[in-house]
Amino acid sequence: MAGVSETDFEAWDVNLHGHRVIYRAAGSGPPVVLVHGMVNSSRHWREVALRLAESHTVIAPDLIGHGDSATPRGDYSIGAHAAAIRDLLVSIGVGPATFVGHSLGGGVAMQFFWQFPERVERLALVSSGGLGPEVRWMLRGAALPGAATAIRLAASRRALAALEAGGDWLKSRGSRRAGYLRAVVRAMRPLEQAGGREAFLGTLRSVIDFHGQRVSAVDRLYLLGPVPSLIVWGERDRTIPIEHGRRAHELIPGSSFVSLPRAAHFPHLEDPEGLSAALLDFIATTRPHSLTEAEWAELIASRTVRRRHLRAA
């Protein structure tokens, strides 16, 4: 990563609508926005961000209620997260960009596209949510009433200390899982506080219930046809099935699909080199395209069937 040091991925603080929002930025060039997943933060993008920053301006926000951003009582739907990202980008002067979303962040990135298509030049979905109902049982369980107590215990200082010790032991054994476990501990830290737990549950329950993912973008993936789209999935993913990615690839005209043999659900942590290479190749081999209002209307019309509604006498 010549030319970009680890200190370049520094945090910035913005006050939006009276709430603190943190984002990290690095590099210069065409903008790329990295949207993290649940119980993650902008910090987790570091290895990917520094690679992309050699040729791009990289922006990675902490979603409201996540990382070091504020945890207000309020709306934690994917639409609210998308609107907050739009306001952040406007406030720092970032226009149309390539968007990369991981897990929940993939759902947020797709929602951002539905709401603000003129601001999305390319879209990359990494082990994305919102593409089918199946999801790991732990997330379904966390959506149940009463789960707050279990989450409070799992994120307690004692439990996190035990996980941290486990990470140190794995590191001493030379295991690649050590970095992943340390990242989990870092991600869980905000859940020590009541506000962080409430924000996590609010976000989780907006997209998942006991039956699985209840928010789906499958019916409108055709809208991505004119926009360069990439789907990346870890071949060892047990949180969201890789079949979701393959099916989305079939439904998005002209999309590309890349699977990473070394990665599970967190390619940006488990195989940052492979993910970065896939993203850089995708950007280098596609032309940015932002949908105009006329193009959006044409796409909608192409799938709209209008019939006269006849009322019963």
Q: Look at residue 309 in the predicted model and tell me its pLDDT.
A: 65
Domain topology for 6-135+214-303: Rossmann fold (3.40.50)
Q: Look at residue 100 in the predicted model and tell me its pLDDT.
A: 98
Give 270-276 contacts, CB < 8 A, sequence gap 24+. Answer: 270/176, 270/180, 270/234, 271/234, 272/47, 272/48, 272/51, 273/47, 273/51, 275/48, 275/126, 275/232, 276/47, 276/48, 276/51, 276/52
Q: Residue 217 — left, alpha, or beta (φ > 0 → left; ψ -120 to 50 → alpha)?
A: alpha
pLDDT tens digits, residue range 184-237? 676 677 677 766 777 777 787 777 667 767 778 889 999 999 999 999 999 999
Q: Look at residue 261 in the predicted model and tell me its pLDDT.
A: 96
Q: Look at residue 36 in the predicted model and tell me its pLDDT.
A: 96
pTM of the model: 0.84
Show the tokens assigned to 133: 């109902």
Measure Cα distances from 61 to 49, 89, 92, 158, 313 in Å.
Answer: 12, 9, 12, 29, 56
Relative to beta strand 120-126, strand 229-234 is parallel
Distance CA 277, CA 268 (A): 11
Measure Cα distances from 63 to 11, 26, 81, 90 in Å.
Answer: 13, 18, 7, 15
Active site residues: 103, 237, 265
Which of 29, 30, 27, 23 minimizes the C-alpha distance to 228?
A: 30
H or E segment to which residue 99 belongs = strand 97-102
| Mean pLDDT, all residues of the chain | 86
Q: Look at residue 214 in the predicted model and tell me its pLDDT.
A: 78
Show the tokens assigned to 211: 């039956």
Say whether pLDDT at 313 is over 60: no
Q: Look at residue 208 in the predicted model and tell me its pLDDT.
A: 67
pLDDT tens digits, residue range 118-160? 999 999 999 999 888 777 766 656 666 766 666 666 667 777 7
Q: Look at residue 115 in the predicted model and tell me its pLDDT.
A: 95
